[in-house]
Structure 1
Amino acid sequence: MIQRDCDLSQPVETLHDNEQLKARSRQLRGTIADGLEDTLTGAMPGEDPLLMKFHGIYQQDDRDQRAARRRRHLEPVYQFMVRLRIPGGLLTKRQWWGIDALSRRYAERGIRITTRQTVQLHGVRKRALRGLMQDLRDIGLDTIAACGDDSRGVVCGANPFLSRAHRRVAELARVTSDQLIPRTRAYPEIWYQEEGDRKDDEEPLYGALYLPRKFKVGYALPPVNDIDVYGQDLGLIAVVNDGELRGFNVCVGGGMGQLDNRDDSYPRLAQEIGFIDADDAPNFSETVMSIQRDFGDRKDRHRARFKYTLDRLGLPWFLEELASRWGRPLAPARPQRFDHNGDRLGWHRGDDGLWHATLYIESGRIDDPLRARISGLLEQYGGRLRLTTNQNLQLTHIEDHERESLQWRLDDLDLSWRLAPNTQAAHTLSCVALPTCGLAMAEAERYTPRLLDLFQRLKGQYGLTGVPISLRLTGCPNGCARPYLGEIALTGRAPGLYNLYLGGSFHGDRLALLHACNVDEARFLELLAPLLEQFARHRHDDEHFGDFLLRRQLLADRPVSLTYSS
């Protein structure tokens, strides 16, 4: 464990306002406890909404009603999004039932599986927050560090019950998550109303200012890059020989978010820098994160992510600093390759003979009818569940004798179609966007069904219906649905208008390029049609759309590679 007090070389008053807020927050307490008791407003006062992000909570309002409420001189319909911390996305059946019940009791928009392998509950009112947090504790879950300037929930690829190696990687992801969360007593004090000794209220890893921005850690298991490992601040790529986990290739500096109005803001792919032993992964993650803590930009918040720290100070500097803190240089990276970055829907069997079934969930949204069917299914199914980074749901631990009866039950509940592999929907991601996200400039989740229908019809015109193409849709330039890794991506600019990106890799190892700005639906289809026509006529066997665009030089410039630098 790295021990460090956050002794800044410059006065806190010279730093970004968010840094000053953290410094005076009393380890993330602020006045949150008092604000929860204020019944005159549905909002939290002052700066507390920023601090609540560290507790896994975003204050939002229903933007569909905002203008009408303003005209009537009413405050917005304030509500909160609560994001759970679920390392690796693993849940017991009891925990799923608990989430189901809590979503009915407290949330107004059901359950949403996120691209970071967890659950968000939308539409929670302020008066219900503390009750929700206590009920989550009772089923063994929490929300600490699901948001905020800290280590976000650690993601883990593929199914941990496919093999011994998968199980080991999933366990390391859980240990890493537990090791990197903040230690402040503010969380149990505010939400569980537990009194504690303030002497224990120290942050040996984070210090008084926590991190400059969020820090994302992900574990991937080749050949499936389902977590988009090159989009993580720290990616750990499993190296498996003869069924045993040998260690991890390490990649650093990925990040999807950008601002369209700043030239010095951009998505970036992580770079492979070496190999570590498997058991070292949690401590190594802490070491890398500590470098970002100490050297990340705390004045310009838009340049505070780890990718900018690496580009500003240089990879040679980072490797030297890492070797100094880690105590030795890294071993060379070992050979590995990816061939896929979506989920493999349908039935699959692990090396222990147990089956798992991956069900497609559109945009991760589980509404009332689907929620009821899934909970009903679990009444006759004795296994466990896993959420995926592609917003889908896996049923795991299925015995041979259970598979047939479970398939019948899936048929009865009209869930079997969600097992169908190789559908375009299975390769499409979207963020929440409107009406709740405060950053959204255009629709995403609510527009996805129409976009998918139009895209499938267009593909069908050229005989490409069964050809998977990764498609990403976000309501703003931020990277919640990892748009810049898609073969096709739309990022919101204004209602009905998007920037169009093309040429990412189906394997998730190449960024897309900006192809056109401010396109509407008609222009999107107009631009895409001739490219799909050429793809249908001239593609090689098993060639993916993004690779085809690159080979045929149909993009303005060559997309940046894994050795990207600013």
Structure 2
Amino acid sequence: MSEKLSPIEGIKIKSDGLRGTVKESIEQDNFTGNVRPDDEALVKFHGMYVQDDRDKREERAAKKLDKLYSFMIRLRIPAGTINAKQWQTLHETSEQYGTGVLKITTRQTVQLHGILKHQLRPTLQSFDTVKLDSIAACGDVNRNVIATSHPSVSKIHAEVHAYADKLSTHLLPKTQGYYEIFIDGEKIYDRVKEVDPLYENRYLPRKFKIAIAIPPTNDVDVFANDIGLIAIIENDKLLGFNIAIGGGLSTTHGNPNTYARLATVIGFVSGEENILKACYEVLTVQRDYGNRSDRKLSRLKYTVDKLTVEGFKAELEKRIGFQLEPARPYTFTERGDRYGWQLVSNGTWYYTLFVEHGVVKPNQKAFLHELSLLDICNFTFSGNQNLLLGEISAENKDTIIALIEKHGVEKEISELRKNSMACVALPTCPLALAEAQRYLPELVTKIEPILEKYALQDDEITIRMTGCPNGCGRPYVSELGFVGTGPGHYNLMLGGDRYGTRLNKIYKEKVNETQILEEVDVLFDKYVKERLPKETFGDFSHRTLFN
């Protein structure tokens, strides 16, 4: 007897290429700011989520008003680079629609919050004029493909970077529903071109994420992805990629069947055709074997563990028609962004702007808009939620320095703050149990004096926080991790390594701020007294607390 499918599986199958009644929801249902229930699932595939302002729920309920619904729109920007004209459009669109805040995500893209239903079309049409879209930025498909952001990592960074776009294009859904509903409104009758051998009419059991890392940098947290590609470069030549499968961080409080998992390296693949084919067929194995009855157990990591790593690899090799080669050696020695000014091998300059938790502040936004009007650089979102200004000529460097000073965007920032990360959480995320993005800056401010007390202010400790156990801020691969359990309370996670190759573990459950600061003080005291030479805080915690 086959397992009963989850309700969303039926919604996908009968959606007519992800169209559903989304168009009718937008055009006809003026009595609500939401879309119809089935369409809430379908709009995700078009790069948006339905949200409401949870800060205003109680007040509106008292007035017998509907929730204050709006939409978050997330763009698809493989490897995170856009040009000056695209930044101008992003700025102008965000000023016209939504909250006005630009939010850089951990997946090298940007999202806008607070878009009202009647603003969806003009927002997406505005992006379309500069060749930006939100197709497959959310939903049960391959999402935005990310890659190591800074060109100084390798002379052939551009060659490796290009694979993000190649993979994104190769794994896009074939349906033209996005353009039909949101862009030109023309009904597409030639459905032959929409036949989708990859996604069929079922799509994937759950979301799917791919990251490309260029050693020695693991700024993308490559092992936290369904597919991790690790570039193997020798003598400035790309030999191919080690391929890792089955990473994913999402868990559910109280459900022991859910767990965070780092991807397992299963081999090495070379040649563009073989690389694209291998990634494609990983998706088909997940499509055919993934859990479609329980969405909490539907990510690739559970499929890999169900089939076993060797079983999955055997099925993959059968589908690709060749055997993977043994994995090649590599080493990660950094994960943070390379801040400040950097000269790269092609003679151009890059500047990395710190954007705390990806929230572009008003003075930063003004600076970036003025800069975009000059059209003298490109803009790259990093996997650490920061922004690289790139391809800057020597003669334009002083112009940008002057703009930085004019807008006051460069300030002294502690190493802890530079290595912090948080998800959006409250007030817009419906899953959030606790604050994250709005609270972690305050917590870091309170931890900084403790670091100074123990002369640890230059220690690049990674600290991450999420408002729920889904792990969007990747707290499970940090040295100091906080996972929301309820208002003002978090699980304190310790023992992850500095470079994203080891998961942390729960050290204390449901701690509040006072308890957090007390624990951090005790831990740092022990760290400075008992650590081994060159031992990081994460390695120290792992050795002394969990072994």
**TM-score, structure 2 normalization:** 0.97
Q: What CA distance in whole angstroms lies between the structure 2 residues aligned with 1:277 and 1:184?
A: 30
Gaps of 5+ in 1: 1-8, 559-566
Q: Quick check: 2:33–2:69 contact (8 Å CA) kept in 1?
A: yes
- Give yes or no for the alignment of 1:190 onto 2:181: yes
Q: What CA distance in whole angstroms lies between the structure 1 residues aligned with 2:192 and 2:269?
A: 36
User: What is residue 449 of structure 1 aligned with on the other side?
Assistant: 441
Q: Please state how far the C-alpha of 1:10 moved relative to its aligned partner.
A: 5.0
Equivalent residue runs for 1:28-427 within 5 Å = 28-37=18-27, 38-160=29-151, 163-192=154-183, 193-196=185-188, 197-279=190-272, 280-380=274-374, 382-417=376-411, 423-427=415-419
SS at match of 2:50: strand
Q: Please state how far the C-alpha of 1:441 moved relative to its aligned partner.
A: 0.5
Q: Quick check: 2:423–2:467 contact (8 Å CA) kept in 1?
A: yes
Q: Quick check: 2:164–2:212 contact (8 Å CA) kept in 1?
A: yes
* CA deviations over 1:394-439 (Å, ceiling 9, x no partner): 0001122322332232122212227x6x622110000000000000
Partner residue of 1:27 out of 17, 22, 33 = 17
SS at match of 2:37: coil
The letter of the residue matching 1:238 is: A
Partner residue of 2:494 out of 502, 508, 515 = 502
Q: Quick check: 1:205–1:290 contact (8 Å CA) kept in 2?
A: yes
- Give yes or no for the alignment of 1:536 onto 2:528: yes
Q: What CA distance in whole angstroms lies between the structure 2 residues aligned with 1:545 and 1:404?
A: 39
Q: Please state how far the C-alpha of 1:375 moved relative to its aligned partner.
A: 1.0
Equivalent residue runs for 1:6-25 within 5 Å = 10=2, 14-25=4-15
Q: Quick check: 1:245–1:278 contact (8 Å CA) kept in 2?
A: no
Q: What CA distance in whole angstroms lies between the structure 1 residues aligned with 2:499 and 2:361?
A: 31
The letter of the residue matching 1:76 is: K
Which range moves more in the overlay, 200-209 or 113-122?
A: 200-209
Q: What CA distance in whole angstroms lies between the structure 1 residues aligned with 2:276 and 2:350?
A: 28
SS at match of 2:106: coil
Q: Quick check: 1:381–1:406 contact (8 Å CA) kept in 2?
A: no
The letter of the residue matching 2:198 is: L
Q: Please state how far the C-alpha of 1:370 moved relative to its aligned partner.
A: 2.3
Would the alpha carbon gap of residues 440 and 116 (structure 1) be closer, same or farther in structure 2, given more than 3 Å must change?
Answer: same
Q: What CA distance in whole angstroms lies between the structure 2 residues aligned with 1:241 and 1:278?
A: 15
SS at match of 2:411: helix
**TM-score, structure 1 normalization:** 0.93
Moved over 6 A (4+): none
Q: Quick check: 1:377–1:410 contact (8 Å CA) kept in 2?
A: no
* CA deviations over 1:247-289 (Å, ceiling 9, x no partner): 1111111001000110010000111111111413222211111
Q: Quick check: 1:162–1:351 contact (8 Å CA) kept in 2?
A: no
Q: Quick check: 1:355–1:403 contact (8 Å CA) kept in 2?
A: yes
Q: Quick check: 2:246–2:300 contact (8 Å CA) kept in 1?
A: yes
Which range moves more in the overlay, 293-302 or 531-540?
A: 531-540
Q: What CA distance in whole angstroms lies between the structure 2 residues aligned with 1:153 and 1:308?
A: 21
Partner residue of 2:462 out of 446, 470, 490 = 470
Q: What CA distance in whole angstroms lies between the structure 1 residues aligned with 2:450 and 2:45?
A: 43
Q: Please state how far the C-alpha of 1:150 moved relative to its aligned partner.
A: 0.4
* CA deviations over 1:178-210 (Å, ceiling 9, x no partner): 111111121111011133222323222101110
Q: What CA distance in whole angstroms lies between the structure 2 residues aligned with 1:163 and 1:515?
A: 38
Gaps of 5+ in 2: none
* CA deviations over 1:356-384 (Å, ceiling 9, x no partner): 11110011011433211211133346111
Q: Please state how far the C-alpha of 1:158 moved relative to its aligned partner.
A: 2.7
The letter of the residue matching 1:20 is: G
Which range moves more in the overlay, 41-50 or 478-487?
A: 41-50
User: What is residue 563 of structure 1 aligned with on the other side?
Assistant: none
SS at match of 1:73: coil
Aligned length: 543
The letter of the residue matching 1:145 is: A
- Percent identical: 40
